[in-house]
Amino acid sequence: MKMTWRWYGEGNDNITLDQIRQIPGVSGIVWSLHHKTAGEVWEENEILAEAEQIKAKGFSVAVVESVNVHDDIKIGLPSRDHYIEIYADTIRKLAAVGVEVVCYNFMPIFDWTRTNLYYPLPDGSNALFYEKASIAADPHEMAEMIIRGGGDFTIPGWEPDRLSRLDELFAAYADVTEEKLFDNLVYFLQKLMPICEECGIKMAIHPDDPAWPIFGLPRIVRSRDTIRRLLNAVDNPHNGLTFCSGSLGTNPHNDLPAILREFKDRIYFAHLRNVKIFDNGDFVEVSHKLGDGNVNLPELVRVLHENGYEGYARPDHGRHLWGEEARCRPGYGLYDRAFGVMYLLGVWDGLENAKRQAMQTRGGEIRVGAE
């Protein structure tokens, strides 16, 4: 398991690469050209500059999150082929600087959705919260709240320019059923697979967050069955999954260890975080520690270890601690994610030690037996 950290780039993140270097065990930066809107060309020199800056601090650049998918591809408009070509072009350019995995999502209009970005937790910290009852019938309110909550930062998937056309977007998606959206995703992936094969890039779709439809928009990557269907429909090792325990974990019916086991050969990236689900289905993001939420992270790390997981992982979101919400991106503070890294690596290292000891013991027995 290779530990990574999502960084939004110089001037677009209050955290610096020098700070990240001091978190033990982080070997890679999960990056993107965050100023690019979906469907825009990524220039070679911009990619190179960003990758060089990250590599100069000793980090790998193997994971990009995200290259956003243009709505025309999701809706299935005739213009989609043009945008798929641009996407393929970006993938080729990314491979050239050492990218191996592209994390993306296929959620219509919105990215991850919460109703409160600063929900107070009993310990005085605060975190991202989702309240079912306050998902208003009016998505404009939601968009305004999230854009406002981002402060000086633009939150991926909640770009003010794009969301200013919200009514237009909803109208464009009016006929896009779950089936159509699925077909459009398959079409997109089938077109990309030859390029991915040629340049060695693995596409790793991020599950929908939360793991159910909102505002009447379909969501198609939310459970073991929907993931199986997608991986089977485009049965190519370059069509893979980002396992996100916090997204899939919003639905208590999702058996997370079973999902890890079933798709172990197609998981290239893991987002490992905890959520606490309330009786009414609302949920809040909590610390990584066992017992603080409904996700059993030590068990998930154990299954990854048992699977011999060699892919990438990151602590995903964290709570905002010690007042850092005044300056950090919602969900992307420094402290709780650093705790998360240490917690996850602590479990992993313990398992590695136990494995080594077991091998030594077995080796000793064999030697004794041979004498």
Binding region for Mn ion (CB under 5 A)? 244, 271, 316
User: For this structure, is 83 an active site residue?
Assistant: no
Which of 227, 281, 247, 61 lies closest to 157, judged by CA?
A: 247
User: For this structure, is 199 an active site residue?
Assistant: no
- Kindly state the smallest distance separating residue 265's Cβ from Mn ion, in Å: 20
Q: Could you tell me the strand order of the sheet in which 116-120 lies?
A: 116-120, 126-130, 283-286, 274-277
Active-site residue, from 34, 288, 317, 320: 317
Which of 151, 142, 100, 109 lies closest to 332, judged by CA?
A: 151
- Kindly state the smallest distance separating residue 113's Cβ from Mn ion, in Å: 13
Nearer to Mn ion, 76 or 150 (CB): 150
Token pair, residue 71, equals 């709505």
User: For this structure, is 34 an active site residue?
Assistant: no
Nearer to Mn ion, 80 or 271 (CB): 271
d(CA 188, CA 69): 9
Nearer to Mn ion, 184 or 245 (CB): 245
Which of 364, 254, 260 lies closest to 311, judged by CA?
A: 260
Active-site residue, from 34, 70, 238, 271: 271
The number of beta carbons lying within 10 Å of the beta carbon of residue 132 is 14
Tally of helices (H runs) and strands (E runs) in the chain: 13, 12
Active-site residue, from 34, 70, 206, 320: 206
User: For this structure, is 328 an active site residue?
Assistant: no
- Kindly state the smallest distance separating residue 223's Cβ from Mn ion, in Å: 16
Active-site residue, from 34, 87, 104, 244: 244
Active-site residue, from 72, 208, 209, 316: 316
Nearer to Mn ion, 271 or 288 (CB): 271
- Kindly state the smallest distance separating residue 314's Cβ from Mn ion, in Å: 8
Which residues fall within 8 angstroms of residue 43, CB to CB, at 6 or more apart? none
Which residues fall within 8 angstroms of residue 186, CB to CB, at 6 or more apart? 230, 233, 234
User: For this structure, is 317 an active site residue?
Assistant: yes
Nearer to Mn ion, 90 or 105 (CB): 105
- Kindly state the smallest distance separating residue 278's Cβ from Mn ion, in Å: 20
User: For this structure, is 244 an active site residue?
Assistant: yes
So which residues are the catalytic ones? 206, 244, 271, 316-317, 332
